[in-house]
Structures are given as C-alpha cells and as structure tokens.
C-alpha cells in the first residue's frame, strides 16, 4: 500500500491537533496515524466513510461469483480507480 506522506500524521500530532488532522482527512479522504513509525490507525472523512459504507453494503448484496469477479478485476498493484457506488449500481 502506498501512502502519501502528506496523508500521514503521528499519534502525538493526532492527540495534540485533532482539528487539523480532521481537516486533513477531509482534504485527502483518509489519513494514516503512525505510532512508533508503524501504522496504528486510519481516520476517514465522513464523505469517504459514507462512500465506503455504500460500497460494502453493495458488495454484501452480491452473489459469491460476482464478488469473485470484482476481486479478480482489481489491479494487483499501482493506482486503483476510485469507484462511485451510483456508477456501480447503474452498471448492475
């Protein structure tokens, strides 16, 4: 997984500057919180959380064969497309 260095904050930064970290999550969609130079947590913006929740709900409604097709179609590495749930629902 590639992480943007601008989307990484330390655990102590998160504790001291929550509002700035929340604003950063809104800008990037997701920020990664590091503790002792290791990934510790992820903070999603509410927009990103809602998008992912819809995608998960949609995936849970699919049959196993359809889920396997989706997984097989994902790139193994590199840049991945951002999917919008409305586009996926319209294709179904």
What are the tens digits of pLDDT across the range 3-61? 567 889 999 999 999 999 999 999 989 999 999 989 899 999 999 999 999 988 888 88
What contacts 34, CB < 8 A, 6 or more positions away? 8, 9, 10, 11, 40
pTM: predicted TM-score of the whole model, two decimal places: 0.64
Domain encompassing residue 23: 5-44
Grouping H, G, I as helix, E, B as strand and the rest as coil, residue 42 is: strand
Indicate whether 34 and 63 sit together in one domain: no
Indicate whether 56 and 74 sit together in one domain: yes
How many independent structural domains does the chain possess?
2
Q: Which token pair is 80? A: 């991945």
Indicate whether 35 and 51 sit together in one domain: no
């Amino acid at each position: 997984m590639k992480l943007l260095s601008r989307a990484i904050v330390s655990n102590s930064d998160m504790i001291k500057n929550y509002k700035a970290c929340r604003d950063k999550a809104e800008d990037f969609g997701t920020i990664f919180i590091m503790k002792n130079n290791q990934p510790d947590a992820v903070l999603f913006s509410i927009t990103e959380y809602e998008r992912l929740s819809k995608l998960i709900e949609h995936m849970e409604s699919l049959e196993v064969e359809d889920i396997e097709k989706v997984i097989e179609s994902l790139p193994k590495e590199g840049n991945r497309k951002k999917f919008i749930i409305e586009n996926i629902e319209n294709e179904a």
